[in-house]
Amino acid sequence: MRPVVSATPALLASVAVGRPVRGEFTYLVPEALAGTLAPGQRVLVPFGRGMALGFYLGPANAPVEGGVRLKPIQRVLDDSPSLPKDLIALLRFAAEHYRHPLGEVIRGALPPGLSTAVDEKAAKADVQHFAEALVTEPPPQLARAPAQAAALQYLLAVGGRAQLEEVAHAIPGARETLKKLAARGLVKLVEVVLEPGVREGLIQGRPDRLTQEQDVAVQELRGAIDAGGFQPYLLHGVTGSGKTEVYLRAVEHALAQGKGSLVLVPEIALTPQLVGRFRSRFGGDVAVLHSGLKDRERLFHWQALRKGTVKIAVGVRSAVFAPVENLGLIVVDEEHDPSFKQDEKLRYQARDLAVVRGKQASAVVVLGSATPALESLQNARAGRYKLLELKNRVDDRPMPTISLVDLRVERPREGQVTEEAPILSPQMLQAMEETVAKGQQVILFLNRRGHSTILLCEVCGLSLKCHDCDVCMTHHRSQNRVVCHYCGVAFPVPDRCRECTGPLLKLGIGTERVETEVAERMPHARVARLDRDSATSAERLTELLASFARREIDVLVGTQMVAKGHDFPGVTLVCVVMADTSLAIPDFRASERTFHLLTQVAGRAGRGKDPGRVLVQTYNPDAEPVKRMLAHDFDGFAKQELEWRKALAYPPFTRMAAVRLEGEHPEQTAGVARFLGNLVGRHMPPASAGVRLLGPALAPIARIRGKTRWQLLLKAPTHAALAPLLARLEAALADVPSGVKVVIDVDPGAMM
Ligand code: ADP
Ligand code: ZN
């Protein structure tokens, strides 16, 4: 076959189309645009029967075969490219690696305003106009100006100050009227320019001196930034060792060299302190990118970074796509955190993409954590990352002492089993009392929300399950309801078993229950709870954390939200109510995750001048993660766990992909699962390639929202060995009936 169009390759353009279609498309470059296109520019292209948003990627070199008539690019939508070069390369990698349509990947990375087929407009800063009354009542001179009198009356009635918009809404024509009032000196008009996305953090100063370990790390990073070029580091620093200060100094250095920095954090709302530290150090040079931004703010930040007027981006996982100019440094804080994996649409792992981006941008990459992911640790061991260690806390503060309360021996129930058995052992209560009496603070950690997590029939033993999901309903006493944590359905608490009408026992404790017990047993203490139920908005969350920081709360009970990188110097006691909750989860990372959570929450104790201690209640004192965290033994834990992973061929020693199915009809879903299983079987490479298929099997949670769930797991020594199979699977998805949804999840996070 011969090419239909014999244009020179330079006049052909490769374009990603912002639609859910795979691959890159070839378009003709019209004469008028020849030589003017730059990769990363948004263009308007004919697609199907209409027009679509496209992204110009570069000249197309492969002549198109077959009877396809090439169409020309219609129009260019941006003056300068919306995407910098290194970002295009990253997005291409992400589309290929995570099996997602490139156009969708690019569109998903762009802010609103650039992700639709419209011309680029500069985002407006948010300017608000206020009118302030300068008098307390209308003076007699207004008697003959009733409109002005009315506007002033309104302003006074609402407290002397209001937005112009609001006054104009209440009193037609008030904008003009207020100007006249201002001319008479009765009203002042004020303009407030709000910087998009600005959020106040807690201001902290710059320490005069680095610790010796910090200094070594900073020197190394400076050297690497000066040298230029890609260099990944794993910064393994114990909790409270001052990792953030290392990041700040590295960012400072990059900035001094005119280079931009990108800092990724797990959840901004949970760590306002970190944002505060960046803001107080770099002021307006920081764009803070979080999920609560308004469209306009998102566009504003994008454009500012793109133009290089703002050089530092601090943000959550999606900020890995922020268009930082002349990128010199990428930091991933708390790199072990599971929230870096996105579990919808483009199922990317931002930590991994950060490293890829560093390579493409020739930047220094720092992955920091007190509990590095085994994947990262293995990369350091294999010499792919350089290891930087901070083994001591700042100011030689001691690590907290950790002790166990063996719940098999120390039953907190004082001999009697009641519906509401106590859950705090005498040791724990005593430690809490002592701490609060000294004016210090306590964190109580339990990784389950709600009051009781199981309602069990005393007669037939059935537990109350959701109608639509294969999980138990959780009792939320404050709402007087039982709630399914998977689909959100809620109904009044039944007092009898659905099957046999037997009485229901409330078993399994949640944070709400812990909070109630603390309040009952320590009536003098100020108790609060931090979990998804209490922190219903970003504002509420910030307020709770700020109030704990101001020491208005003595005991903070919470889920893993309390285990994040908080730095509360008043906390000297951390109690783990039950260390066992995350051990039994059917996931090969359950043990690692337990170790991380326990170590992280323990690390909240003793960060100020007073030493900290940690009490851990458990039924499994011999479980590996419990034993190792007790001994502050990350290395021992990692060594053991890595051996186990190697023996059973799990990451980091293999690459995985999960194929997840979800369907209305159990039979049909099972059928599709078998079909995909057979397909993989037929195309399996020779045994020497080491590719293995597990399943198809029902997922650990076999039903959610009434849908049956199946999964296939693929393992291989390298991603390259998996890629051809994944491509086959993806191609086969077109034949899957619409009642069954199939997604391919490369490098999966949670296995549920
Ligand atoms: P990590 O992130 O390693 O847990 P942080 O970066 O939060 O630790 O630092 C712990 C505390 O020590 C913070 O309050 C921080 O301001 C303080 N800090 C960090 N470096 C220094 C230093 N060189 N001198 C004095 N205080 C420091
Ligand atoms: Zn449900």
- The domain that contains 231 carries what CATH number? 3.40.50.300
State the residue for tokens 């490098």.
747
- Shared domain for 415 and 512, answered yes or no, is yes
Under 8 Å between Cβ of 303 and 325:
no
pLDDT of 517 reads 93
Whether 44 maps to a domain, the answer reads yes
Domain for residue 370, yes or no? yes
CATH of the domain at 71: 3.40.1440.60
Q: 80 with 218, same domain?
A: no
Q: Name the helix (H) or strand (E) containing 288.
A: strand 286-289
Is 176 found in the same domain as 260?
A: no
3-state secondary structure at position 671: helix
CA of 246 to the centre of ligand 1 (A): 9
In the structure, what pLDDT confidence band is assigned to residue 518 with cuts at 50, 70 and 90? very high
Longest dimension (CA), the chain: 97
Describe the crossing of helices 590-602 and 634-647 by its angle, rounded to 10 degrees.
Answer: 170
Instruction: Please tell me if the CB atom of residue 207 comes closer than 6 angstroms to any atom of ligand 1.
Output: yes
For residue 474, being part of any structural domain is answered with no
Residues 273, 147: one domain? no
Q: Which amino acid residue places its CA nearest to atom 20 of ligand 1?
A: 242
Number of alpha carbons in the 13 Å side-chain half-sphere of residue 323: 24
Q: Is the CB of 392 under 6 A from ligand 1?
A: no
Assigned domain for 502 exists = no
596 occurs within a structural domain: yes
Residue 722, domain extent: 655-746
Name residue 433's amino acid: E
> Each residue of 569-606: pLDDT tens digit?
999 999 999 998 888 888 999 999 999 999 999 999 99
Q: Which ligand is nearest to the CA of 566?
A: 1
Residues 684 and 659 in one domain: yes
> Do 551 and 528 share a domain, yes or no?
yes
Give the pLDDT of residue 345.
Answer: 93
| Cβ–ligand 1 contact at 214 (below 6 Å) | yes
Helix, strand, coil % in the chain, rounded to nearest 5: 35, 25, 40
Nearest C-alpha neighbor of 475 from the set 419, 407, 518: 419
Domain shared by 269 and 343, yes or no: yes
Ligand number nearest CA of 218 is 1
Do 362 and 593 form a contact (C-beta atoms < 8 A)?
A: no
Q: Quick one: pLDDT at residue 200?
A: 43
Q: 431 by DSSP, 3-state: which?
A: helix
Are 608 and 533 members of one domain?
Answer: yes
Give the dihedral of Cα atoms 409, 414, 416, 417; nearest 10 deg. Answer: -60
Pocket of ligand 1 contains residue 237 by CB under 6 Å = yes
Output the domain CATH number for residue 712: 3.30.70.600
Domain count, the chain: 5
Say which ligand is closest to the CA of 701.
Answer: 2
324 in the same domain as 186? no
Most confident by average pLDDT, 121-135, 155-169, 181-195, 457-471: 457-471
Nearest alpha-carbon partner for 432 in 424, 447, 405, 569 = 424
> Mean pLDDT of all residues in the chain?
90
- pLDDT for residue 420 is more than 70: no
The crossing angle, in degrees rounded to 10, of helices 374-381 and 634-647 is: 90
Q: How far apart are CA 188 and CA 436, in angstroms?
A: 50
Is residue 705 situated within a structural domain? yes
Which range scores top for mean pLDDT: 164-173, 264-273, 361-370, 490-499? 361-370
Residue burial 393-426, b: 16+ Cβ < 10 Å; e: rest: bbeebebbebebbebeeeebeeeeeeeeebbbbe
**Any atom of ligand 1 within 6 Å of the Cβ of 567:** yes
Boundary of a domain, candidates 193, 224, 246: 193
| Whether residue 618 is found in the same domain as residue 720 | no
Residue 492, beta-bridge partner list: 481
Give residue-wise pLDDT tens across range 86-126. 999 999 999 999 999 999 999 999 998 888 888 778 777 66
Q: Is 580 exposed, middle or buried (0-12, 13-18, 19+ CB in 10 A)?
A: middle
The mean pLDDT of 281-285, rounded to a whole number, is 84
pLDDT tens for 381-407 read 999 999 999 999 999 999 999 999 998
Q: Which of 678, 654, 674, 594 is nearest to 629 (CA)?
A: 594
Please identify, among 619, 645, 671, the residue that sits at the C-terminal boundary of a domain: 645
Residue 560 within any structural domain of the chain: yes
Whole-prediction pTM value?
A: 0.88
Are 604 and 664 found together in one domain?
no
In tens, the pLDDT along 541-563 reads 888 988 998 899 999 999 999 99
Residue 6 lies in a domain: no
* pLDDT tens-digit readout, 422-468: 689 999 999 999 999 999 999 999 999 999 898 999 899 899 999 99
Which stretches within 172-211 are classed as H helix? Answer: 174-183
Choose one of 91, 114, 137: the last residue of a domain: 114
Q: What is the residue with the minimal CA distance to atom 18 of ligand 1?
A: 242
CA of 611 to the centre of ligand 1 (A): 15
Question: Using omega within 30 degrees of 0 as the cis cutoff, is the peptide bond preceding 503 cis?
Answer: no
Is 472 annotated to bind a ligand? Reply is no
Asked if 62 and 181 sit in the same domain, the reply is no
